[in-house]
């Protein structure tokens, strides 16, 4: 699979996939994370739009799921693996924050999805296509280096 582009991200939105789904599915395909695209899309389905409440950006959530799949510990007491996971998570978050100014959906969009008037503005201004596609690409570019 090739790099994520804004055109691919826009196509994903048109197909009904959220930011979190697109980031995790891209990472799962590109980095052989032990799940196929369909599984990745399902797992990440509840995390778009800041978990539907404007909190942590879905791009960040999808990326952290990918980092967890690659570096997550599954043995009790595996402190080294947990430390590596924490370091990779912190690295991703730091870089995303530096690049984009926030990890929070409502801050990135400038509107809160849970407020009907704000959601109307998001749709009116086409922010999923003018802001979120770039955030998806940003998350994937950072993941490319962190994974």
- Please name the residues in contact with 88: beta carbons below 8 A apart, sequence gap of 6 or more: 67, 70, 71, 146, 147
The verdict on residue 34 lying in a domain is: yes
Q: What is the pTM of this model?
A: 0.94
The verdict on residue 73 lying in a domain is: yes
The verdict on residue 53 lying in a domain is: yes
The verdict on residue 37 lying in a domain is: yes
Show the domain range for 114.
6-146
For residue 74, the model assigns a pLDDT of 87
The verdict on residue 1 lying in a domain is: no
Share of the chain above pLDDT 90, in %: 92
- The angle at the Cα of 63, spanning 92 to 11, to the nearest 5 degrees, equals 125
Q: CB of 138 within 8 A of CB of 100?
A: yes
The H-assigned helical ranges of 44-78 are: 48-49, 58-71
Q: What average pLDDT does this structure show over 52-56?
A: 92
2 has a pLDDT exceeding 80 = no
Question: How many separate domains does the chain show?
Answer: 1
For residue 59, the model assigns a pLDDT of 98
The verdict on residue 99 lying in a domain is: yes
The verdict on residue 131 lying in a domain is: yes
- Tens digits of per-residue pLDDT, 79-130? 999 999 999 999 999 999 999 999 999 999 999 999 999 999 999 999 999 9
- Tens digits of per-residue pLDDT, 8-28? 999 999 999 999 999 999 999
The verdict on residue 135 lying in a domain is: yes
Q: CB of 104 within 8 A of CB of 96?
A: no
Q: How confident is the model at residue 1 (pLDDT cuts 50, 70, 90)?
A: low
Q: What average pLDDT does this structure show over 47-56?
A: 93
């Amino acid at each position: 699979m090739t790099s994520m582009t804004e055109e691919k991200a826009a196509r994903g939105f048109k197909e009904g996939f959220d930011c979190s789904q697109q980031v995790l599915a891209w990472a799962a395909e590109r980095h052989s994370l032990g799940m196929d695209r369909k599984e990745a899309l399902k797992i990440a389905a509840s995390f778009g739009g800041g978990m539907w409440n404007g909190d942590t950006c879905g791009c960040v959530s999808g990326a952290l799921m990918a980092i967890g799949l690659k570096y997550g510990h599954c043995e009790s007491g595996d402190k080294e693996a947990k430390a590596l996971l924490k370091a990779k998570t912190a690295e991703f978050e730091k870089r995303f924050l530096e690049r984009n100014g926030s990890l929070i959906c409502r801050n990135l969009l400038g509107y809160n999805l849970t407020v009907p008037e704000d959601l109307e503005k998001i749709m009116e201004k086409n922010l999923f296509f003018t802001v979120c596609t770039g955030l998806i690409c940003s998350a994937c570019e950072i993941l490319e280096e962190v994974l």
